[in-house]
Amino acid sequence: MTYDFHGSWDSITGENSPLYKDLNSNAFLKDFAMNYWKSNGAPAEKLVVGFPTYGNTFTLQNPSEHGLGAPASGPGSAGPYTQEAGELAYFEICTLLNSGATQVWDAPQDVPYAYKGNEWVGYDNIKSFNIKVCWGVWLC
């Protein structure tokens, strides 16, 4: 499983499915996990990189602190369709983005996140999926 690296169980915001680790984290991430298995003898053709089509959400303690590692007070609000606090389906994230949420590209981890008010979500989009596909199969 190469997602759910961060979620509402954390006390600070973090990306759901980062490709690389950020400078403030020692978390095991896609790049580390896949290389770990390969270096310990797992055949590369049997390894599969997971691609989540949902995002993990947080409620920010202070809306003016909205970056990675911002203090969180728990899961974000449940979406109208998934009805699960702490998670939004990609189409629910699109609704949030279309409602004026600020989108941020997290260059060190090659994934986006977005925030609006005290809501924060780490997710994948077309750009991050393309980067992960190219990373995984070395085609691009």
Domain ranges (residues) in the chain: 30-137
pTM of the model: 0.84
Please check the confidence at residue 22 and state whether its pLDDT lies above 70: no
pLDDT band at 23 (very low <50, low <70, confident <90, very high): low
In the chain, pLDDT over 90 holds for what percent of residues? Answer: 57
Query: Residues near 119 by Cβ (< 8 Å), separated by ≥ 6?
Result: 57, 58, 59, 60, 76, 77, 96, 101
What is the average pLDDT score of the chain? 87
Q: What is the pLDDT of residues 32-86, one digit of tens each?
A: 777 788 889 988 778 777 789 999 999 999 999 999 999 999 999 999 999 999 9
Identify the band that residue 137 occupies on the pLDDT scale cut at 50, 70 and 90: low
Query: Do 68 and 106 touch, CB atoms closer than 8 A?
Result: yes
pLDDT-derived band at 117, boundaries 50, 70, 90:
very high
* pLDDT confidence bin for 139, thresholds 50/70/90: low
So what CATH class is 30-137? alpha beta
